[in-house]
């Protein structure tokens, strides 16, 4: 499961990068695309860091960062959907993927917290 999620989060980052290359380089899109690239790649980077956590508390802390970055990715995908008239199918697919990743991470956090109780 851990390796599969590492691959999935890496693909999520790569797919968002590819999406952003389809928008023109302009003031209108650069801010949103740059933020989307940062937060979507942070999902995978911080999940990898969580896999190397030194304790349960460290693991939960790092997963909370993944949770925030996945939610932020969803936010910027929503903005692109609103301001652009292109790539709506891909934006919606990536939003759904972010939502699924978010659900997995939240469930993992809850499981770890319940295990500690």
List of residues 6+ apart from 48 with CB closer than 8 A: 6, 9
- Ordered structural domains, the chain, with CATH: 2-116 (1.20.1440.60)
User: Residue 99's closest CA among 64, 65, 75?
Assistant: 75
Res. 117: pLDDT tops 80:
no
What is the tens place of the pLDDT at every residue in 36-90? 999 999 999 999 999 999 999 999 999 999 999 999 999 999 999 999 999 999 9
pTM for the full model?
A: 0.94
Res. 1: pLDDT tops 90:
no
Q: How confident is the model at residue 60, as a pLDDT? A: 96
């Amino acid at each position: 499961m851990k390796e599969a999620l590492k691959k999935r989060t890496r693909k999520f980052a790569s797919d968002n990068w590819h999406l952003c290359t389809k928008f023109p380089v302009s003031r209108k899109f650069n801010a949103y695309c740059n933020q989307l690239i940062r937060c979507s790649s942070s999902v995978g980077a911080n999940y990898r860091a969580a896999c190397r956590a030194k304790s349960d508390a460290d693991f939960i802390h790092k997963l909370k960062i993944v949770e925030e970055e996945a939610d932020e990715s969803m936010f910027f995908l929503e903005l692109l959907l609103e301001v652009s008239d292109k790539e709506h199918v891909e934006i919606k697919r990536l939003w759904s993927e972010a939502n699924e990743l978010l659900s997995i991470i939240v469930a993992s956090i809850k499981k770890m917290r319940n295990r500690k109780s």
